Structure 1
């Protein structure tokens, strides 16, 4: 909506005449050092709805969302340490195991300069511990 009061009043009169109710309005100075100010309005028309559906969702019945099924590296490290006599795993090992199972969070921009760079490979016992953690967190 426009900022000048005449235009705002005209717009609100029109909207209120068509079933909307002004709940809240605030000025937003998006262009400092100018005379222009935007008005942000929260309008509601719920009471005019002829048909609406009330929905009740029980969170226990829902599957995990993708955000809930992702554990951080620190959570994975802690799980591995607690369940494997204090075993420590590195972020590199976790990333290698995740890549092996097709879990790629985002593109890696920290790539080596040369193609023949050698990286330590995750030992089998640490890989098994990380896989156990990934299963616990329902990532695989």
Structure 2
């Protein structure tokens, strides 16, 4: 507990002071829990993610083409970092993710990515990775819609 500059010789906080501090902490925690990530963030992130697969299929296989695509990907990563910093700045906090958001959604997306890679590499289904990134972009938007709906209740 913060002592507001009290020295060790001063009187310790009273039970009333401690209770007030705990109440203040709970009010702050409750206010932060109600912070809603803006839907534009999820829509923008989904729109940024969806075209990655289709764009990778049209990237030239020559060294200059591969380097150009690498440059595009670096620019994409910089844009992603900027987008994430903007939403944290606008919200004033970095929201806490639930267990489902931290484990289940990325795991399901990872398994879908592995399945897409197997389809493409083992069974020569050329559109698999493109479809995966489009679906991933839609999942990101879907997570945003669910998140915003739950926070609005």
Do they superpose with TM above 0.5? Answer: no
Please classify the TM superposition score into its range, dividing by the shorter chain length.
under 0.3
RCO (CA 8 Å, sep 6+): is it higher in 1 or 2? 2
The structure with the largest alpha-carbon Rg is 1
TM-score by length of 1: 0.23
- Structure with more helix by fraction: 2
